[in-house]
Structure formats: structure tokens, C-alpha cells
Structure 1
């Protein structure tokens, strides 16, 4: 297995003892293809098995090695059948509990047998217990303590901790002979992080006995920080590379059409805010160039992003091209269609709509209008990027609530803009403000515009948190609002992801409220309704024919009913802050004071309490986003936790925010060669999907 220095990145895992082609495929699920990948597959946490802890010194939640003598082993029948082994060590007694066991296993635990166990102490009915601990029978010999902490690695099906630890040990032997290639010149690193890479890797896989577990758990050991800096740098360089690559493509330069824009603005019943005008100027400057615009437009709920999008669309339409507007839900798509139609059709600009719910004849007609160029602005869901959709001359793609779409979906839509050499401009909008630290790292390939001013007349929303035990008072509050001629939302949230279960819960709630609120007209909207049914209900609510709209979180974005002044969110502790802020933004859109009631279930967890408190304290979306990042992490904010596409191996964007200016400085340094840049990206990202490739 001996190899010359610098080749660990090229040495396949099959070179390790015990790894054949089949097991290599299993390791590939962990993005491990080479020995270097294995070395950079870092532990999640550590176990201290370096000493035996007396039973009397155990506390709930503590992981520990204990050793004692079996006093009894009995099968107990309570709520679940279990094997309970009583263990005594001279300082005290505890129980080992097994819910899955065999007769042979029970027989091993004969009275007087000496056991060494490792597990987590938990409170049980008769004192502390270890559930399914790792055990070995000892013959009275002295305890042979390991001299390092035991690492716990991220796993996938088909890989055990023991097997992965064995492979890492083989990789560390190779590392000792070859060394890890230092890609960053020492002078580029801050003094405190000039920690040799080979030593950092060895330390993090095998911390010595007595290492500071708290420091390691917090990710603040210099070895961790050294690697976090390099990982953040690799991600940053990758995004800069994407930006450079997109800049080599041509894009149609879109000259402005002043007469068309003046006509549009003269018909508005209001004047754009200063922030809207500033952002429009930034976008106009981008669109006038012959390279693709890649701009992220951030604006809090109700800041007027749609108007900015319409003015951007006029640039393309005025130049004889087409615009595609993609939204994540059919409800939001319909609202965009209505807004754009109201604004553009008086100017003689037809608006088409393409969603999955269209009837075949309607779909054929819309596809023909898009292909011929007759449709200038096309609003749609993900149906826009399906194979049969052919644009005549697509020059601008506007993506609303970008985090709700997969990267590949956005990429597919961009590729519909031309022959590969010419690509459309992209404007990506979000009402989920991205914290500054996250934007610096996750959107380094995008220019960023912020609408930081709300239109005049927007009312502040009073937010209160009320226990579900006072539900009757909340129902009475709804009755009072309706009696005053106002409308209200009642949002149901469920842990279950099943749309049918969510629909059932919403239906049950709607029926209960209709019974409790005699005379109040109750409507219902959820994900199981067809597009036509949703539209019918929403139109009735907008027209004032429904007083109380019961809904799932399907109404999270975009729905605009100025007369709705009361929002009830049931079980808000199940949602993230950004989503709660979005829901709250459905009220306060008129000229009257509005209220949001967070109807929480008890008992409320500490994290849940912190989230609701943050929502009550802040009305600014950026402050909420920072708090959401602190409480939940970056993957949730960007909406891609489920894809695993922003899962850093060791870096944490919130914890390591202070490293980001250093990362940007290193990335801009001339001392970092093009070859080194490519090697850094390959080291950290070569086997992982890139989450911003659109």
C-alpha cells in the first residue's frame, strides 16, 4: 500500500484492505471514493472510553464506560417486554435494558459475571439505566484503556462504525507515510490557524485522552478551525468559478424602452419607493450588458418585489423578447398571472400561464403561443421547464422563492434560453431574507439587491403567543374580527408530510370552527385540492365571500388580501422562523392594524419557545433570518436541508462567520494559483453536488 507523497487524492479506497468494488459503491454514498476522501470524512462527535466511571458518578445524558458484576437478569413485562440486567460495582447499582434480545444473550448475563459496558445513562423507573449498551465480558484483568477518544462518524446503510473506524486507521497509516498535501501557503493563513494539515487530520480522527470534549463539540479546536477555513474557501472558490463560467456565455443586451415604461408607471395607483427605484436601476444596468445577469433580489414580505420584476420584464418585452416567471405553487402562479395581466395587458402585452393543472386543450394553446412568440410573458410552475415547452426568444428568467426549487430545475429553465452560447438573464427573488453571513458564502456567484423599504401605509403586525389551552378565547377573537367586517386566516400545521393527512387535519379544523362560529362563512384550501378548486376558494376569499380561510401552509407565499387582518397559526413550534414570518406577512397588507396569534401546543420546548419569542420581538425579516440561522442552521434557511447539498463536513456558517472575510481575502490573493484553486475545490467538493449551479 506504500505510495509516494501527494497521491492520496488519487488512491482509490479499493486499495485498502477489506474494500472491494461492492463495498466501494456503499462508501460512494458517503462521497468517499479515494483515501483522501476518507481522511476528510470527519467525525460528528467523540466518545470518551479512556477511563471507567463509577456508577455513583453517572448523571443522566452522560456517555460512559462502566464495569461491574451482574446481580440479576430478568425478563420484565410492562408496556414492552424487555431484558433487565442489574449491575453493581461497589459504588452503586444500575440497570442495562434490552428490548431486542435472545435466550442466548440472556444466558450470558449469569449472576456473578463481570461486564464492561459503554452507553448513555438515562433515567429509568428504578434509577439510571443504559439502553442496549455495548458490552463485553471481562475476566478480571486490568482495564486496558484506549489512549485516544473514540470517533463517531456519519454513516450510511451497509457501513458500521467499527468497519469505518478500521478503514480510517488504515488511511491514517498511509497519511503517516505520505503526509497530506498542503495547498495553502502558510503566509495566507492567520497565525492562529497555521496548523499543519497532516497533524490536524490525525488529531481530529484520534484526539488524545484528556482532549477538551467541549471545545471539540463546539467546533472551536484549532485543528477544526484550520479545516473549516479551507472548506469554506473551497466552497467560495467553487462559486466564483461558476460565476466566471457563466460570464463566458453571451446574453441578449436589452435596451430600455422609455415610452413603454412611462406608460406602465403612469397607470399605477402609487409611486415606486426609493428602494424599488434603486434596485430597478441596478437590474437595468445588468440587462443592458451582453453577459448574463445573475442577481438575487431580496425583499421582506410586502416590500414590492413583484413590481420590480414587472419593470425588469418590460426591458425584455420592449426589446422584442420573452420573459418566463417561475413560482413554486399554483396559487402563487395564479396570483402572479393576475398581477402581471392587470399591469401589462392594458399595454397590449399578452400574458400566458403554464401549470400542471391545465386541461389538454388549454395546454396546447398556451404551448403554441409560447413557441410562436405571441405570448410575451409566461407565468408558470415547474411545468415551464418540461421538454415540450419551446420558447421563441427567452431573454429573462424570473424565479420567485428560489429556495423552493431544486438547482437542476433552475438550470433546465436557463438552458431553454438559447443554443448554449446565448443564455437568458436571471433574476432570483426571495421574501426569505438571507443573513449576511450566509449570502457571503452561499451566494458568492450572485449579485445581490435588497429592497429595504416597505411601501407607505403598511401597518405593523401585533404578534402574540397563546397556549392551545386558551383556544376558546382565540375562536372568540375570530368571531369579533368577522363581526367588524374583517377576514381571518387559520393555518393548520402538521408534522406528517402526507398531503392527505394534512388535508384531513385541515378539513377537521374547518368543520369544528364552522360549528363553533355560527354564521361565519368558513372556506378551506389545502394541497389535495385541484388548481381550479384552490383558485375558486381563493377568489371567494379575496372577494369577501369567505370570512375565515382555513388552510395548510400552502398559503405561505404571495397571497394578498388587504381586508384580512387576523392570522392564527396553529402549532407554530413545528415551523421555522422564516416560514412563520412568511405566513404572518399574509396580514397587515391593508390600512388597518393586524394581528398574528401563535397558538402553540404545551409543553413547549426551549428551542420552540426561543423561536416564538424571536418572532414576537422582530418584525424585520433580516433580523428574523439571522435568528433562524442561529437556531436551525443554513440548510433550513436555503430550503435544501433535505437534499444534503449544503452539508459542510466541518464548517458551520454561523459559528465560523468570522472566518468569511479571511476566506474572501485568501480567494482574492494572487499567491493562490489556478492549479491550487482547482485542487482545493476537488479536495472538498469533487464528489458532492454543488448547490448553486444555476
Structure 2
């Protein structure tokens, strides 16, 4: 179907409505057809008032018995209607005199809404309604009623009318819909054609059960779910293919630097670290860009694996760049890597957004000349003015905080006569397998599934803030026994300023109550040098208690810290709570995490805290986080367009992903001409995320 079939063919679509539709990514009749319902309502049957149940949506019909304006806490219009089975109240808080006069005694009214318990028993609040001449007027809907995603200025009724016009126009003009899935696939899996699937989903017959549609298991839904997941898979595979067409330097070396680094360490890498390092070295030896994702739970030793990967590239006389999302994490990496590599004669460079003046000029010169061999920094590394001398490897920590396009921007810095640098992506946020298969289809994956020996399990308890004094006493006891503690103040109303103020107030309060302890404070509005100095003092045990915002979520390693208090944990997602908790349990001391929550908790918050109490398995926690929050939030809003899925649901449809990967490979090999139209149909402009 022609992507450019104009919306103005539809009655009532002028410049203003067309602009509003564009906010829903509807630019043509084809886009409108693929703007699919996210749920359905059954308005095809009139239900008896006497059979209504709490929280049950239904169509009911009856005669008006009374219509009165009531004055209580809020003025309301209460209309009572009745059929032969009972009486029901309809309540309006927003109404006018003309509306009240419509509900004259004896008038016949039909309405749709959700029954809820109110002052007069079950009530409908602000239902959709119509007044009828006779009981046969406008019989109920002949099919299930679709509910579409909308935007400001476009009501459900408006979009349904547009959709009906589009369906009728397409049927009348016999416009073909391109079936981009091979016919033998549809026959093999018992799936309808694209046209059949779309018509069914926009107009499901009344015989279809709502529960079946909600489950996503109807063949018409499966047809489009498979196609949408396939489009995303192909998009990521095409990205990988484009990257690999450029080639990369094949890194061959003698393992000299690798072994020299290990000899100066006071510990031996775990078997998991060794296995993942072999994966990386094998990739580096190929003349194709390495695209590898390293997943490892908090404290699993990803930094050492990255350092060992860097050894091989540095020994081959290339530069290595490591990019981290925050200055505090980048500084931690710089300190660790400088300590390991400077004694081996490798000069380490540093570049962050706050590097200014002469220091910045010097840093840029050392990167461009090749004097800086291993460069650590924040997103400042991919700014236009940064020129690398001979970049062979890009390491990105906490990939989900950057998104695909930003790490590719750094990759562009390394073109060497048509060759691209290798890429190593690290994350301490375990990504559920379902997400990894789709969001990271352009990457090979290795998992560090073993913690270094000596790590102690962390006991986690949830405590109401009504017991705050007990928690403060617990901190005091721990610090008196020569341990150290964190007190974390979480985000307040998405405001960094308020978050920092809360941390300052908490630090002042604790300093007053625990005046004999040495207390430090770290938050996002402090200068980098101040934060570094306080963190260094805490690590050197010159401070007993560190009050901090969530800036300490990643990268801080203080083995003597064995107690963490997280205030208002209900404000955070599971992945972030798990990251924060991972700051303790890094030494030999028995470690504890106290989740100091504010009652009452929502059901979701209770579920989150329960997961934290029962598990320290990052992958289990990530799966639960996906169930509670959805893929868009788990990956971060900057990630490629998975949060924009229209009919597919990664959690619900996880079992389809292996099939989708096989489908992508087959389509690419057997029907390459269908790849581009399929990606365009489902991703459109959103595919720019993957194209950069």
C-alpha cells in the first residue's frame, strides 16, 4: 500500500487535524490503518441493571426515574434510571442546566461505563450516554468497540470515525495491502493475510471473547505481532550489517601486556572473567568490528575484563576510549585504570564536560597526538572537537544510559582508512533475556555469571520510617564497630535541586544526632573535585557515614562499607535499588541494606520491596523489573524504539522471539527486497535511532 495515500481524502481532515494526527505518527492512510487498538470494549450487549458487578464495564438501558442536583463536598447531578431488574445511579460532577433538563422523568437513556461503589450503591460516573426515542433506536454495536491511543484534541469517537472512513475507502477502491511475510509462512502457521488481520483488529465481531483479545493470542494479533517484532529484529540486524561492512583492525599480539597487568594484581580473575576475556580476544582478532555486550551483576568485575580487552588493543599500538555516563563513575574508572596501566608505561587521558581551559586544550592535544593511549571520560568524548590519533577500541559502560545513537557517534571517531574501532559494551543492569534478544540484536552477548570470592551476602529488610530512630541507632552501632555506612536520599519529584536539599537536610539532622561520627555529604550539584575528595576520604575511612543522593549508584567501591540505608525506596525502580545495594557487601564484613519506606505503600511498591528482600540475583530482579515497569523504562528512554511497540509486548510475547530471530535470518537471505519496506512500515522515522 502506498505510504503516501493522503489523509485529506478523509472527510473532516484539514490542516489542524492532520497536525494533531502527526503527533500520533499518522502521516498517511497507511499509518492510520496500522494505528491499532490497545484494548477493546464490549458494547454489543445490553446488560440488566440487576446483574451489574463492581468495576465491570457494561452497556445498560433504562428509564429516568429522577434527576437531582445534590450539594455535599462536591456538587453533583444524580440521575436514577431503572429497568425491570433494578435501579442504578448515574453521577456527573461536571454538568450544566441544559444537561440536567435532558434527563426528564420517563426519558429512555442508554449508557456505557464502569460500575463502581458509591453513596447510593453501584453508580456510573460520567458515563458515555445517549437519549433514545424507542428501545429499538440505534441497537448496540455489532462488533467489539476498539480503544485507540489518542492525543490532545483527538477523541476516541473522532479516531473511530476516521478509521471507519479509511476502512470503507480502502475496501471501495480495492487498495491492495502488501503482504511482506511469505505466503508459505502464513499457511504453515495458520495466520491470516495482512488485510484480513487489519480488518479483524479494527472490527472484531461480537462473538470474540474480550479475554482472548486481551491475551494477544488471536491469529490476527499473532500475525501482526510477529511482523512487528520481525521489523525491529531486522532493523537491529541491518545496523550490525552496516557496521560490519566497514571492517576493523584485526588485533594480534603476544599477550605480553595482558600478563603484565595480571602479575601486578593481588587477585586472580574468576573463571567467568577468563571465559568472557577469551570471547573478546577472539572477536578482536577478526577483521570485523567486535560488537559485544558484557552483562555482569553488581561487583562481578567488569572493569577488569574491560582492562584486559584494552591490553590487547594497546599492545597493537591503538588507542582505547572508555565512556561512562556520569563523572563520578568515569572518575572511578580513571583512577582504577591509571593505577593499573601507568606503571606499565601506558599514559591515561581524561576528558569530561567540566574539563575547561588549558586542561581541556592539553587533553585534546594528547588525544589527537596519540600521547594519551587509554582515554577515559563522559559523553564529552564524542563531541566534534575530539579527534583521536588511532582509535581501535571503544568501551561503553552502562550502555542503556546512552542509547544506540550515542555509542555509534563515538564509533565514528575511530574511522581509520575505512576501518571502524571495535566496540565493547558493559552493563551492570542485567537485561532480561527477552529484552536482550530484541534491544541488543546488533550485539553478541557474554555474561559474567560469577562473583569474586570473599563477597558476602547482603541481608535486606524493609522498615517503616516511623522506626527512623531505630535505624539511626543501627547506623551508630555499625560505625562504633569500625564499619562504615551509606545513607541514600532518593529522587524527589524529579528535581535534582530538591534532591540535593533533602540530602543536605538529612546530613545536618544526622550530624546533630550522631555528633561523634565523621559524616560526609555527596550530591549531584557539588563540584567534581569536591565529590572526588569526599569519596576518597570515605574510601580511606576518614569518614564513618556518607549521606548521598543516587549519584553513588554506580562505580563506588568501599570494601569496609557494610550498611546502607535507602530512604524512600518506593520512589526507585528495582534495577536502581539493586545497583545501590551493590555498594555494600564488597568486603568480608556481614552486610545489610535497610529500605526505609514511607507508608502507605502502593501495591507495586510492596511488590518491589518484596523482590529486594527475597533475592540478590540481578537477572531475576531485572525480569521482575520488566514485569512491573515495562521495556521502555528498563532500557531507558534513549534506547532504540522498543518502548514504541504497537501490538507486540515483550513480556507477553517472549516465547516468539527465537522464532522471530530465525524469521529475520530467512527473510534477509531469501527475500532481501522485503526488509526495507517491513522496517519502514513498523518503525518509520523511529528507525533513525538505529541509523544515527
TM-score (norm 2): 0.93
Match of 1:605 among 602, 607, 627: 602
Farther off after superposition, 510-519 or 349-358: 510-519
Q: 1:470 to 1:418 in 2, by over 3 A?
A: same
- State the secondary structure of the residue aligned to 2:414: coil
- Quote the residue 2:410 is aligned against: 413
Give the drift of 1:654: 1.7
Which whole-Å CA distance do the structure 2 matches of 1:121 and 1:356 have between them? 56
Which whole-Å CA distance do the structure 2 matches of 1:642 and 1:396 have between them? 22
Give the drift of 1:674: 0.8
| Maintained 8 Å contact 1:186/1:194 | no
- Quote the residue 2:224 is aligned against: 227
| Structure 2 counterparts to residues 86-101 of structure 1, below 5 A | 86-89=80-83, 91-101=85-95
- State the secondary structure of the residue aligned to 2:453: coil
Match of 2:32 among 28, 38, 44: 38
Match of 1:521 among 508, 513, 518: 518
- Quote the residue 2:149 is aligned against: 154
Which whole-Å CA distance do the structure 2 matches of 1:565 and 1:443 have between them? 35
Give the drift of 1:589: 0.5
Residues 1:444 and 2:462 aligned together = no
Report the count of equivalent residues. Answer: 688
| Maintained 8 Å contact 2:432/2:619 | yes
Give the drift of 1:248: 0.6
Q: 1:598 to 1:321 in 2, by over 3 A?
A: same
| Maintained 8 Å contact 1:461/1:594 | yes
- Quote the residue 1:145 is aligned against: 140
Which whole-Å CA distance do the structure 2 matches of 1:420 and 1:198 have between them? 48
Give the drift of 1:296: 0.5
Q: 1:495 to 1:113 in 2, by over 3 A?
A: farther
Give the drift of 1:419: 6.5
- State the secondary structure of the residue aligned to 1:464: strand
Give the drift of 1:164: 1.4
Match of 2:242 among 237, 241, 245: 245
Residues 1:474 and 2:468 aligned together = no
| Maintained 8 Å contact 2:400/2:638 | no
- Quote the residue 1:209 is aligned against: 206
Which whole-Å CA distance do the structure 2 matches of 1:344 and 1:164 have between them? 62
Match of 1:557 among 554, 561, 570: 554
Unaligned runs of 5+ in 1: 1-6
Give the drift of 1:474: 2.0
- Quote the residue 1:4 is aligned against: none
Farther off after superposition, 441-450 or 117-126: 117-126
| Maintained 8 Å contact 2:405/2:690 | no
Which whole-Å CA distance do the structure 1 matches of 2:89 and 2:547 have between them? 50
- State the secondary structure of the residue aligned to 1:416: helix
| Maintained 8 Å contact 1:645/1:689 | no
Which whole-Å CA distance do the structure 2 matches of 1:74 and 1:532 have between them? 68
Give the drift of 1:348: 2.0
Residues 1:422 and 2:442 aligned together = no
Farther off after superposition, 41-50 or 174-183: 174-183
Give the drift of 1:645: 4.7
Match of 2:158 among 160, 163, 169: 163
| Maintained 8 Å contact 1:321/1:395 | yes
Give the drift of 1:487: 1.0
Which whole-Å CA distance do the structure 1 matches of 2:639 and 2:59 have between them? 35
| Maintained 8 Å contact 1:313/1:323 | yes
| Structure 2 counterparts to residues 181-220 of structure 1, below 5 A | 181-189=178-186, 191-220=188-217
Residues 1:584 and 2:578 aligned together = no
Which whole-Å CA distance do the structure 1 matches of 2:531 and 2:246 have between them? 41
| Structure 2 counterparts to residues 77-156 of structure 1, below 5 A | 77-89=71-83, 91-143=85-137, 144-156=139-151
Q: Deviations over 1:521-563 (max 9, x none)?
A: 3322222223223223222221222222222222111111111
TM-score (norm 1): 0.93
Q: 1:689 to 1:497 in 2, by over 3 A?
A: farther
Q: Deviations over 1:338-365 (max 9, x none)?
A: 1111111111222222222234332222
- Quote the residue 2:22 is aligned against: 28
Q: How large is the RMSD of aligned CA atoms in angstroms?
A: 2.5
- Quote the residue 1:675 is aligned against: 673
Unaligned runs of 5+ in 2: none
